[in-house]
Amino acid sequence: MKRLISVTAALCLLCACSLNEAQGEKNTAKKENPPKEVKKEKEDAAQDDLVLEAAYFNEINEVDGKKVILNPENILSLMNKEFYLPADYAPNDLVRPNVAFSFGDEDVEKSYMRREAAEALENMFAAAKEEGVILYAVSGYRSYDRQKAVLAAEINRVGKEKAEQAVAIPGTSEHQSGLAMDISSESEGYLLTENFGLQAEGIWLCENAHRFGFILRYPKEKEGITQYQYEPWHFRYVGEDAAKMMYEKDWTLEEFFNHVKKI
């Protein structure tokens, strides 16, 4: 993936170095503590120049009042309650990652991911294991029809309003993209629960997933932005550069696209 660019930040740094040399040592205190207005202007300018190639933004066509994504193969596709994947979309590069699954070696739909994401997942699980953290993949790719069945079952169980806070409407699920994996641990009984975020495995993932290109997609206290409840088990592949930025700035994918600009 192309690296994010911050041209203004680099220019500001060069200007600052030249100014320091000109002012001399007698103004050291002033240079170390620039006026708040100047500091804020530099920060805002640097933020405005975070740019990304247009191909990493959603291309949208409105169909029956729904915003349907035309470039779903984009690894930064933003799918949520506003943006839909085509009902007939299925990634053409699905593979089964060589990791431990909660259901063993059974070859089922949910054990697949897109190739790039699968390779990154393998690297992440291997790194965790080296540190004594054993992870288990629970659910990856999920077709549009399978998502319909999952949502219907949850509606029958808890009602429509509660169900749609936890289960994506068909077409809006990241699982259909092949870029998401639900992860659990033996200590959590291989279940997908909020308590997983308090377990050593969940903490390790939260602190390290970005190194492998994954983000915690639905963080705590961001429900108003993502429109989904906290899910410490759901990790989405976005590539290492974007994941690193989102981790460092504590951004969701929605917030990320609120800040970056198209080249």
Give 187-233 pLDDT, tens digit per residue.
999 999 999 999 999 999 999 999 999 999 999 999 999 999 999 99
Q: Are 220 and 228 in contact (CB under 8 A)?
A: no
The enclosing H or E element of 172 equals none
Name the token pair of 159: 């009602």
Cα–Cα distance for residue pair 171/88, rounded to 1 Å: 9
| Structure letter (DSSP) for residue 197 | G
pLDDT score, position 4: 54
Is it the case that residue 67 has pLDDT exceeding 70? yes
State phi, psi for 252 to the nearest 5 degrees. -85, 175
| Structure letter (DSSP) for residue 70 | S
* Among 78, 70, 82, 74, CA closest to 53: 74
Query: How many other C-beta atoms lie within 10 A of the C-beta of residue 28?
Result: 11
The enclosing H or E element of 133 equals none
β-strands 66-69, 83-84: how paired?
parallel
The mean per-residue pLDDT over the stretch 85-98 comes to 97
Name the token pair of 117: 């994401």
Residue 114 has, within 13 A of its CA and on its CB side, a CA count of: 22
Cα–Cα distance for residue pair 59/242, rounded to 1 Å: 19
pTM over 0.85: no
pLDDT score, position 95: 98
Strand-pair partners of 139: 182
Known catalytic residue at 41: no
pLDDT score, position 165: 81
pLDDT score, position 36: 54
Is it the case that residue 256 has pLDDT exceeding 90? yes
DSSP letter string, 83-126: EE--TT---S-EE--SS-BTTTT---GGG-EEHHHHHHHHHHHH
State phi, psi for 243 to the nearest 5 degrees. -65, -40
Domains of the chain listed by start with CATH number: 5-48 (no CATH), 57-255 (3.30.1380.10)
Q: Which of 174, 188, 201, 231 is catalytic?
A: 231
Query: How many other C-beta atoms lie within 10 A of the C-beta of residue 143?
Result: 18
Is it the case that residue 85 has pLDDT exceeding 80? yes
Q: What is the pLDDT of residues 120-160, one digit of tens each?
A: 999 999 999 999 999 999 999 999 999 999 999 999 999 99
The enclosing H or E element of 218 equals strand 214-218
pLDDT score, position 34: 54
